[in-house]
Chain A
Amino acid sequence: MVTASSRDSRHRELGLTDSEYDLIVDRLGREPGDTELAMLSLMWSEHCAYKHSRKLLRRLPTEGPFVLMGPGENAGVVDVGGGLGVAFKVESHNHPSAVEPFQGAATGVGGILRDVFAVGARPIAVLDSLRFGEPATSERSRYLLERAVAGIGHYGNSIGVPTVGGEIYFEASYDQNCLINAMCLGLAPQERLIRSAAAGPGNLLVLLGALTGRDGIGGASVLASAELGEGDAAKRPSVQIGDPFAEKKLLECCLELLESELLVSLQDLGAAGLTSSSSEMASKGGVGLDIDVARVPLREPGLEPFEIMVSESQERMLCVVEPAHVDDVIAVCERWETLATPIGTVNDSGRLRVLSGDSVAADLPVSILVDDCPLYELEPAPPARPLYRASPPALTGEESAAETLLALLASPNIASRRPVFEQYDPVVQSRTVRRPEQADAAVLALPGGGAIAVSIDGNGRRVACDPRAGAIEAVFECAANLACVGATALGLTNCLNFGNPEKPHVAWQMVEAVAGIADACEALAVPVVGGNVSLYNEAPAGPIFPTPVIGMVGRLPDAARAGRLGFARAGDLIAIAGPFEPSAVGSELGKLLGREPAGELPPMDMQAVRDAHDSVRLKVNAGALQNAHDIAEGGLAVALAECCIAGRVGATVRLPEGVDPFAEALGCAFVVSGAPEALEGLTIIGRVGGDRLELEGRLNLAVSDLREARERGLSGYV
């Protein structure tokens, strides 16, 4: 019997283990051909198959009364009333961005946009969650930051989708492994929503969009039949180049095709290109597909069948069309200057065949590409020793409270992100009710008076301290941001960014974090409708902070009453809403003091916190509060400073007994202000007024000084 070890080891260069290769040979009853090997190596990669995470993700709750489409489709969709659905998802593009941050980030945005319009929704907003090394000491991190922001802006702005929010954290842990997570929301009349299952033997498979080139082939080039000469490296690019203009035309074209009901199903081409989209369409539909790669329009001549099947050229979609509608489809595409090429047919064979004219390059059962991929059990074990070093201290601990507050406001994780978000267009499409820094969540108007709110959050350092509690906090912080603007959470998407899952301590981080997300989702009754996993974010020094990034979408009944971040009126009382028992563990001040990210986070009474969220949301909806801002990094002092800066007004505050102004507990408490009757039952801590922030007995600073420190933080880096 031929086994992996007894033949050439190309499968290893493609990332398949010997046992995986043996499984393939066993299932096929023969060895795979070159094109088949290329296809299988990608479909069985971690990135496509989720070998190490699929079982774990089953722990997450996915059902809820507002779920129209759950995990498994291109994007999840929730019902927002008025016959409308909001589709949304977050995806990572970490590894390509480390290679080429501008294009990596740009094509990350392009990819998530396609996932959203692939279900029939018009993309209406983008958010991005980024992680880099320390900008002060790492030139490479500054370079990645600058280029990634430019790339996100370039793609989002050019295609006319507003970038309305996001977050950035800077930690040495991400120095070798930056994270670029892009989230997109789309809006659709519910009748226009479409699934990706291919259906209808006899129907045609039509490829839409850009020409196919050698983008992203990289690793699979080991299969090339021609010898790679010296000058040939340039012929095999690994970097995908995005073209937002092409995607704009593709987007409008697809939406018009859907409005005209010309499509049976639609799928975008992302990782592993034609291979993954056709496999998944066939698998979901329980059908077979014949694809003739000789019909695929190419950017350059001479691509081999395997190259065409694994190319990651951007801005392409695959659809299934009834023969009677093909001419209409081509006509619509012509109007939008978008190519439409029938490249295959649907049948009931249950097999995926790749033809090149008359010859057969691949003939595989669909199941081997999708279902038969082995799933691995994680073998979690808590770390035996600390995984993450402390940062070099920036403060001694001898500083006054005033100096400490200014240092926190100027620190990269807390400082104003204005230099970043000014590179994004937040208003195109005329829906944006709350722009960056106006409130804790972005707010987009819906037809009819309501609005949706969206936030993206995930403090990796706190998850590193305590994965389960940190993940719970991330979910609650996201929900708190929604409550601040008056929105009820409808659904959640998550991107799980971790190190090497084959290492027990990383597996443990994953298991604990997912358990935390599940617990929080159950407590808040918010289902997970989709998401993404990015593993192997690890350098020789060790893994990144475990970084589950949470994106949440909610609805508020009255856009005009969307909450605001800043204090508004002199004379308003200031209160804390929610149980707040913070500690120094995992805090920004702890980082600046050179403390290790370790220790247990403050325990959270999830029911009590949920009640606090509800209470704040109701008050905001009633128009009773002048502001609502959740207390996050930097603790109460930073939250108060942020409210003063945003409102351009001062405050006088007496800290509650025993509360350290810089201690942290995320997702559980809010700073709110308003008339006394609005704050009944809450802990009053002060009053809005003047032009200084005074924390009695601790500090007294001009709001202009607070602003200056906060605006200084990231300026010069991007």
Chain B
Amino acid sequence: MRFGVIRFPGSCDEVDALLAARRAGEAVILWHSDRDLHGVDAVIVPGGFSYGDYLRAGAIARFAPVMEEVTEFAHAGGIVLGICNGFQVLCEAGLLPGALLPNTSLKFVFRQVDLEVVRTDTPFTRACGDRHRLSIPVKHTTGRFYAPDQQLRQLESDGQVLLRYAPGHNPNGSLRDIAGVCNEAGNVFGLMPHPEHAVDPLTGSTDGLLLFESIRAHVGDGVTV
């Protein structure tokens, strides 16, 4: 099973995502101007500061040539994981609902936070099993999740909220403590926390590995969402 990790100019955590994904399967870098996903089974849009966060975070990266392929792949049911800046790119691209706004504190925040796993029956969380709480770091200035009220209610009732900040752990003012949402079809998922920075006991918690293992298991099953 192969992950493809996109590299935009300004991506920072793409190598980290590559290293993390390699603990669950194989992984390669996909260059932003290359209109080719090289047959990967899942796409990761990584964290960082693509295009310097110019204009709006993710606003320019969403138009990168590779994103046309990612959009097609997503429409066809392919698995797409967007982490932090990747989440911002997917929202800007319309592949995920809502938008990310500046943190209420107006400052960059790095913090190891607890997340509540809302559902474990998804391609991204199935490996969580009994684990309903994950410890994963966040690091961002623009992570406050927003959607208009009506859409928020619908996201909740449709089960599109997959991860929530545990009480007291919301670092950015996200509405309803939302940390990660998926699309209606359930094959595209975006989250602000960085699971790729929680895979190695030497450097911290290993809870993030569960997301990569979930994707591997899902792809291994050959089930389309």
Contact = CB atoms under 8 A, between A and B. Distances in A.
Q: Do chains A and B touch in the complex (CB under 8 A)?
A: yes
Interface of A: 150, 153-154, 157-160, 243-246, 248-249, 336-337, 421-433, 435, 445, 559-560
Contacts of B15: 429-430
B107 A424 contact: no
B109 A430 contact: no
B9 A422 contact: no
7 contacts: A157-B139, A159-B12, A248-B10, A422-B111, A428-B16, A430-B196, A430-B197
The binding surface of chain B is classed by DSSP as mixed
Interface string B1-24: 000000001111101100110000
Interface of B: 9-13, 15-16, 19-20, 48-49, 51-54, 107-111, 137, 139, 194, 196-197, 200, 202-204
B200 A244 contact: no
Given A153-B108, A422-B110, A428 B52 contact: no
Contacts of B11: 160
B139 A427 contact: yes
Report the 6 A-B pairs with minimum CB-CB distance, sorted nearest first: A160-B12, A245-B52, A158-B49, A430-B16, A425-B139, A427-B197
A423 B52 contact: no
A428 B54 contact: no
B202 A336 contact: no
A559 B200 CA distance: 12
Given A429-B16, A445-B203, A336 B108 contact: no
B133 to A, nearest CB: 19
A150 B108 CA distance: 8
Nearest to B112: A435
A431 B203 contact: yes
A427 B10 contact: no
Given A158-B53, A160-B13, 12 more contacts: A150-B107, A157-B49, A160-B49, A245-B9, A245-B51, A245-B53, A249-B10, A423-B108, A424-B108, A426-B110, A427-B203, A429-B16
A346 to B, nearest CB: 31
A432 B53 contact: no
A249 B9 contact: yes
A475 B203 CA distance: 28
A243 B54 CA distance: 11
Contacts of A430: 15-16, 19-20, 196-197, 200, 203
Contacts of B20: 430
A423 to B, nearest CB: 5
B108 A432 contact: no
A422 B203 contact: no
Contacts of B139: 157, 425, 427-428
B52 A244 contact: yes
Nearest to A156: B108
A337 B200 contact: no
A422 B109 contact: yes
Contact of B110 (A425, A431, A445): A425
A598 to B, nearest CB: 39
B9 A423 contact: no
A106 to B, nearest CB: 13
B107 A243 contact: no
Contacts of B109: 422-423
Nearest to A418: B111
A467 B203 CA distance: 39
A314 to B, nearest CB: 14
Contacts of A424: 108, 110
Contacts of B53: 158, 245
Contacts of B12: 158-160, 248, 428
A428 B13 contact: yes
Contact of A245 (B49, B194, B196): B49
A246 B52 CA distance: 8
Contact of A427 (B9, B54, B137): B137
Contacts of B10: 158, 245, 248-249
Contact of B9 (A248, A428, A559, A560): A248
Contacts of B111: 422
Contact of A158 (B13, B52, B107): B52
Contacts of A560: 202
Contacts of A427: 110, 137, 139, 194, 197, 203-204
A158 B57 CA distance: 12
Contacts of A432: 203
Contacts of A245: 9-10, 49, 51-54
A560 B203 CA distance: 9
A337 B139 CA distance: 27
Nearest to A449: B202
B34 to A, nearest CB: 11
A655 to B, nearest CB: 35
- With a 10 A CB-CB cut-off, give which of A159, A421, A560 has the most chain B CB atoms: A159
Nearest to B197: A427
A248 B11 CA distance: 9
A158 B137 CA distance: 17
A245 B51 CA distance: 7
Contacts of B107: 150, 153, 423
A445 B9 contact: no
Contacts of B202: 433, 445, 559-560
B203 A433 contact: yes
Contacts of B203: 427, 430-433, 445
A431 B13 CA distance: 12
